[in-house]
Amino acid sequence: MTVTIQKIEKEDLAVWTALRKEHWPYHDDLDFLRKEAEEILDDPNADAFFAFYDGELAGFTECAIRSEAPGCQTNNIGYLEGWYVKPAFQRHGIGRTLVETVENWARERGCTEMASDTVPRDFPHSPVAHQSLGYKIVDEKVHFKKML
């Protein structure tokens, strides 16, 4: 079984947007997801990659360079913005390969730190997945709301 990584290009926008919708199903506005993807492609400090498993589209990742992130000490930080592997392809090392691709992308741009974030209630397996790849929890923000 072979995992292949491919840089996402403008001609991949429709497929990528559909995959983004799978990852973030609570976003009702496909236009928003498409525009956000276009912004990633237009940003020289961002990129995105598809993963194929034996030739079949299995997932994607999105990354950027940020000047700050919780727990980081530098101002040139590789950031794992989005990371998704279709359920049928999980547990085959595809997520690890995607993250390693992003880490290499960041290293090529002079980064010495990587960061990411997640919403555990939406992605309950994400903290463990991040930790299994060497990421450490640096901040556990809790947001509050009260109706008046």
Ranges of each domain in the chain:
3-132
Can you tell me the mean pLDDT for 127-141? Answer: 87
What integer pLDDT is reported at residue 116 of this predicted model?
94
Q: What are the contacts of 135-141 at 24+ separation with CB within 8 A?
A: 136/71, 138/70, 138/71, 139/70, 139/71
Can you tell me the mean pLDDT for 98-122? Answer: 94
What's the mean per-residue pLDDT of the chain?
93
What integer pLDDT is reported at residue 68 of this predicted model?
92
What integer pLDDT is reported at residue 23 of this predicted model?
95
CATH dotted code for 3-132 = 3.40.630.30
pLDDT band at 124 (very low <50, low <70, confident <90, very high): confident
pLDDT tens digits, one per residue of 64-88: 999 999 899 999 999 999 999 999 9
- Asked if residue 108 has pLDDT above 80, the reply is yes
